[in-house]
Amino acid sequence: MTDQRAKEVRHRTVANRRRLADQERVERSDRWADLIRHENHFNFIKMHYLTHFASHVRRFGSISMYSTEISELAHKDQIKDGYRRSNKNEAAQQILSHYGRQHALGIRLQTIEALLKVEGVIVVEDSGMEMPTVPSRSTPRRVLKDRMKNTSTLTEICTALRLDIHYSNMMEEILHFIRQTAADDRRLPADSAELVLLSVEGFAQLEIPVPDVQETDRFQIHRARCTGTRAFCNGGSRNDWVWVQTGGEANYGDLWGRVVARLLAVFKIRNIVSEAAAVHRLALVRILDPINGGRFYIPSGHI
């Protein structure tokens, strides 16, 4: 029987072998297409949840409690990392020991941070620095960084950033802001002739401390960039989107006084004409007005 099959294989031509291989390939493709057509579907619970998310967010707020991120990260931190550090021989006991050590060290670090907080120190995430607390301010301040060259006046800032806003319009906005602030010895002059004489420093980055979701005494540093039309890191320009508080919670409907804006420029002005010589940190933004006054659009659930 074996000799007969070998003789048949020898008599097959190259064309026949190619034809048979093509037929088998087509059959496999047809079987695979039938399997996909009959067995694939989206009728499972994870896809069904999507139809309820919009209404649940409107009624209950964030749906982070339904996220699988926590369990996935726990599987990585508690199981996978421990297994990689074991010698793969009776790994279960070594995984438990590894996680126990990690947990003990984490508790020790939290105890140290609590003691530092009692002594008047706030730990800032992602910066490697400790900031002493001040009774009147319990959170770190916003910090301006990446000082720009040749930006000692408002005109030079417009030129350096190549803003699509005219200098006179920028001056108008600043004067409008000054008139809305309380009149005291620290306020900037409301006269444009005096304002242009003040010393100005332009920056390309604003560091914003944001409280952590679960530990509000810890802060994550978010960096907002504004480079005008200049390239950022050999790429395109950066004018990041930021949230701006424009008034009370009655403004902008469901946004509660917050509105999205594009950051155009950040700078410092030193009021040298007053005795206090106060430094004012200002930002020029272009506000994105929401449709429907910032209220939810019921059919889509979006603003």
Q: What is the pLDDT of residues 179-233, one digit of tens each?
A: 877 666 567 777 777 777 788 888 888 888 888 776 767 788 888 888 877 777 7
Whether residues 148 and 56 fall in one domain: no
In a domain, 286, yes or no: yes
In a domain, 181, yes or no: yes
Residue 248 contacts residue 254 (beta carbons within 8 Å)? no
pLDDT, residue 189, reads 78
Whether residues 235 and 279 fall in one domain: yes
From residue 222, give the alpha-carbon distance in Å to each of 141, 142, 211, 302.
12, 10, 10, 25
Whether residues 78 and 184 fall in one domain: no
- Rounded mean pLDDT, 21-41: 83
Residue 268 contacts residue 226 (beta carbons within 8 Å)? no
Residue 286 contacts residue 264 (beta carbons within 8 Å)? yes
pLDDT, residue 90, reads 85
In a domain, 300, yes or no: no
In a domain, 129, yes or no: no
Whether residues 16 and 54 fall in one domain: no
The DSSP symbol for 229 reads T
Determine the residue type at 271: N
Whether residues 168 and 91 fall in one domain: no
Whether residues 149 and 278 fall in one domain: yes
The two structure tokens encoding residue 135: 């009774």
In a domain, 302, yes or no: no
In a domain, 303, yes or no: no
Integer Cα distance of 209 and 260 in angstroms: 18
10 is in which domain, residue-wise? 2-39
pLDDT at residue 175 tops 50:
yes
pLDDT, residue 202, reads 84
Burial degree of 206 (CB within 10 A; 0-12, 13-18, 19+): buried
Q: How confident is the model at residue 136 (pLDDT cuts 50, 70, 90)?
A: very low
Whether residues 176 and 265 fall in one domain: yes
CA dihedral 222, 227, 228, 233 (to 10 degrees): -120
Residue 208 contacts residue 146 (beta carbons within 8 Å)? no
Whether residues 53 and 168 fall in one domain: no
pLDDT, residue 137, reads 44
Whether residues 218 and 152 fall in one domain: yes
Boundary of a domain, candidates 85, 118, 151: 118
pLDDT at residue 2 tops 60:
no
Integer Cα distance of 67 and 44 in angstroms: 17
- Residues 6 or more apart whose Cβ sits within 8 Å of residue 65: none
Whether residues 30 and 51 fall in one domain: no
Residue 98's φ and ψ, nearest 5 degrees, are -60, -45
pLDDT at residue 116 tops 60:
yes
In a domain, 132, yes or no: no
The total domain count for the chain is 3
Residue 53 contacts residue 46 (beta carbons within 8 Å)? no
The two structure tokens encoding residue 264: 């155009």
Integer Cα distance of 276 and 187 in angstroms: 9
List Cβ<8 Å contacts ≥24 apart for 226-234.
Answer: 226/161, 226/263, 226/264, 226/265, 226/266, 227/161, 228/160, 228/161, 228/162, 228/163, 228/264, 228/265, 229/161, 229/162, 230/161, 230/162
Whether residues 199 and 263 fall in one domain: yes
In a domain, 233, yes or no: yes
Cα 32 to chain centroid, rounded: 42
The two structure tokens encoding residue 88: 């793969």
Whether residues 145 and 21 fall in one domain: no
Q: How confident is the model at residue 135 (pLDDT cuts 50, 70, 90)?
A: very low
Burial degree of 158 (CB within 10 A; 0-12, 13-18, 19+): buried
